[in-house]
Structure 1
Amino acid sequence: MRAATLTAFGSPLTVHEVPDPRAGGGEVVVEVLATCLAPYSDEVFSGARRYPLEPPVIPGVGGIGRVVSVGPDATKLREGDLVWCDCTVRSRDDALTPDITLQGWSSRGEGGARLARYLHDGSFAQLMRVPTENVHRLPAEADPARWSALSVHTIPYGGLLAGGLQAGETLLVSGATGNLGSSAVAVALAMGAGHVVAPGRNRAVLDLLADRFGTRVTPVELTGDEDTDRAAMSAAAGPVDVVLDVLPPEAPSMVARAAAMTVREQGRVVLMGGVGMLGGPELALPYPWIMRNSVTVRGQWMYPRTANVGMIRLIASGALDLAPERVTTFGLGQVNDAVTHAAAHGGPFERTVLVPAA
């Protein structure tokens, strides 16, 4: 098969022939039809994001494909099934605190690194080997390129599940003008959120969100002053039930703190972004404020396995509409052009998709 390999950080991806993967017990081989590139892929491949990825590696975060072969323990998947391949792989020998790797992308701790060395390669290839439990059937009519946005939407969905978002509640999305943040706005409304506060500094994107979603979204233009911005966000929609932070690593901690502290008494704050990953001041939420207001603060990396099914249902039912998203596709031979395009087009509802068969 043909695949795109990262041979070293800072080097362009190389497209070449590699051996076909084979499914063992508990595994599935999938023909990759489409995989969505993260806008920050160039930062990962350059080494700027410091991800614990070990070259040489075929990268890629999940994808849509067709089942080619299954292991002997599969009971429902069949050859030819259209499927979503979730990149979040968990070790099978500790149900309470499993080690985790994002196949072809990142990992957590030494256990995650060991898991990554076994399930090393991702979706920038014509074929991919995936754990059986990470393969989820899709409606036969699903458009692979458009549905590959599952790799984006399922992340904030996991955060909203972690925050216990209920129908009718008010959510504030910290980082709403970014790729993940705008997805969080759309997913929350699909889940039944009554109101979403969308703060950011990009006026054009704030206007786009307001135009697309109407009065259920209140944009708030940030100034960079923590006290001013907190007051503006708090005044935008009354009591905030849940704050979801998906700010990128370069965002200052005070932006995340200002957003978090808009939450009401007994509200919930979920941290999913990258603030602090590249150094800088800590988040420093005040202990007395958390305690006296009975605020729940939790971190969430990715999402539980069941979130895949829930996200597929939201799209299949039409609750989350993928039609307005702007999808640009590239063939495998254009993979480096795709990485460049993704970096330049990482705004709301913009998807850069690699089609390995092309």
Structure 2
Amino acid sequence: MKAAVLKSFGSPLIIEDVPEPTIGTGEVVVDVVATRVLSYMNEVFSGERNYALDLPIIPGPGGIGRVRALGPDATRLAIGDWVFCDPTVRSRDDAAAPDIALQGLTAAGPGGMRLQQHFRHGSFAQQMRVPTENVKRLGAITSEEATRWCALGTLLVPYGGFLAANLRPGEIVLVSGATGNFGSAAVAVALAMGAACVVAPGRNETILADLVRRFGDRVRPVNLTGNEDEDRERMKRASPGPIDCVFDIMPPSVSPTVVRAAIMTVRPYGRVVLMGGVGMLGGPGLELPYNWIMRDCITIHGVWMYPPDAATRLIALVRSGLLRLDHTDATEFDLDHANEAVAHAAANAGPFKMTVIRP
């Protein structure tokens, strides 16, 4: 089969023929029809992000495809089923605290690296091998619709954060990083889950106005100044009531003071979700007042990805019509032009934009 292979950091992907994946118990082989390209994949491939990858590897976190082969323990899947391949692979020998690898992208700790050595290859290929529990049925779709269903991979990240925070209908949410790709997805997901409104701070007035255009007056935009105290008050004033939940998805390049300004808008007994990259590339970490956390009974959730059942629940949210996929504009590339797709994703990052490879 044909695949795009990363053989060394700083080098382009090599498009070549590789052996087809073999199947074992607890595994499924999927014919990949469409897979998204993360906007920062170029930084992963260059080594700038210092992601844990045991090279050579076929990259690509998750994708949309059809079941090609099943292991003997699959009881609901069938050959030909349209599925989403969830890239969050968990070890099976410690359910309470599993090791995690993001298939085709990175791994956490020594256990995650061991996991990656088996489920190493991702979706930039014509076929991929996936743990049975990571293959989520989509129902009937067309080949053309596979591209837009790739948006699940982006939407799942904030969905996991809101599940951790137990977001309830009617609550007020603040999304720190609302003008980014994952942040704008967080706005859409929070509203689909029943948030009364979403406070959306940012410096890009055009993107803030677009969020209001897409979702109406349930989005409350806030133009940031860069002054921590002033911005915190602006965000509070924009909210129609106490802010129940703050969701942070700021990238590594952002100052911790910007993140802190947003976090400390949350009401007493409120919840904070941290899914961003503060300090990931070095520099100061996030400092929060101990007394404020303690006296205001603030719950802080550090969340990496989402629980195992999240993809199935999110698919149901889309099928219900509460969460729409047609907000996202996609640009398609074939596998032979994978390097061009990576460059395009980096140059066209932003809300509701997606670059897709169709192997």
For Structure 1 versus Structure 2, the TM-score category normalised by the shorter chain is: over 0.9
| 2:353 matched residue in structure 1 | 350
Which consecutive residues of structure 2, in runs of 5 or more, have no partner in the other structure?
Answer: none
| 2:299 matched residue in structure 1 | 296
Give the Cα–Cα distance (whole angstroms) in 1 for the partners of residues 186 and 131 of structure 2: 27
Amino acid of the structure 1 residue aligned with 2:326: A
Per the TM alignment, residue 296 of structure 1 is displaced from its structure 2 partner at its CA by 0.4
Which consecutive residues of structure 1, in runs of 5 or more, have no partner in the other structure?
Answer: none
Per the TM alignment, residue 95 of structure 1 is displaced from its structure 2 partner at its CA by 0.8
**Does the 8 Å contact 1:89/1:102 carry over to 2?**
yes
Per the TM alignment, residue 282 of structure 1 is displaced from its structure 2 partner at its CA by 1.5
Residue deviations 1:93-151 (CA, integer Å, cap 9, x gap): 00110000000101111000000011110000000000000001002026110001111
| 1:43 matched residue in structure 2 | 43
| 2:258 matched residue in structure 1 | 255
Amino acid of the structure 1 residue aligned with 2:224: L
Give the Cα–Cα distance (whole angstroms) in 2 for the partners of residues 280 and 253 of structure 1: 9
Per the TM alignment, residue 244 of structure 1 is displaced from its structure 2 partner at its CA by 0.5
Amino acid of the structure 1 residue aligned with 2:332: T
| 2:102 matched residue in structure 1 | 102
Give the 5 Å matches for 1:262-301.
Answer: 262-301=265-304
**Does the 8 Å contact 2:81/2:139 carry over to 1?**
no
**Does the 8 Å contact 2:151/2:328 carry over to 1?**
no
Give the Cα–Cα distance (whole angstroms) in 1 for the partners of residues 318 and 348 of structure 2: 23
Name the count of aligned residue pairs.
Answer: 356
Per the TM alignment, residue 74 of structure 1 is displaced from its structure 2 partner at its CA by 0.8
1:334 aligns with 2:337: yes
Give the 5 Å matches for 1:196-211.
Answer: 196-211=198-213
Residue deviations 1:215-234 (CA, integer Å, cap 9, x gap): 00001111111111111011
Give the Cα–Cα distance (whole angstroms) in 2 for the partners of residues 46 and 221 of structure 1: 34
Residue deviations 1:244-288 (CA, integer Å, cap 9, x gap): 000011111111111000000000001001111011112111000
Per the TM alignment, residue 324 of structure 1 is displaced from its structure 2 partner at its CA by 2.6
Residue deviations 1:302-340 (CA, integer Å, cap 9, x gap): 000111111101111111111131111100001011001
| 1:218 matched residue in structure 2 | 220
Give the Cα–Cα distance (whole angstroms) in 1 for the partners of residues 21 and 172 of structure 2: 46
1:11 aligns with 2:11: yes
**Does the 8 Å contact 1:252/1:280 carry over to 2?**
no
Amino acid of the structure 1 residue aligned with 2:72: P
Give the 5 Å matches for 1:313-332.
Answer: 313-332=316-335
**Does the 8 Å contact 1:139/1:316 carry over to 2?**
no
Give the 5 Å matches for 1:149-168.
Answer: 149-168=151-170
Give the Cα–Cα distance (whole angstroms) in 2 for the partners of residues 281 and 224 of structure 1: 17
From 210, 213, 233, the counterpart of 2:235 = 233
What's the secondary structure of 1:35's corresponding residue?
A: strand
**Does the 8 Å contact 1:327/1:350 carry over to 2?**
yes
**Does the 8 Å contact 2:345/2:355 carry over to 1?**
yes
**Does the 8 Å contact 1:67/1:81 carry over to 2?**
yes
Give the alignment's TM-score, normalised by structure 1.
Answer: 0.98
Give the Cα–Cα distance (whole angstroms) in 1 for the partners of residues 146 and 159 of structure 2: 20
1:28 aligns with 2:28: yes
Residue deviations 1:195-217 (CA, integer Å, cap 9, x gap): 10001111111111011111000
Amino acid of the structure 2 residue aligned with 1:145: T
**Does the 8 Å contact 2:82/2:141 carry over to 1?**
no
Give the Cα–Cα distance (whole angstroms) in 2 for the partners of residues 352 and 331 of structure 1: 11
Superposition RMSD in Å: 0.7
| 2:246 matched residue in structure 1 | 243
What's the secondary structure of 2:159's corresponding residue?
A: helix
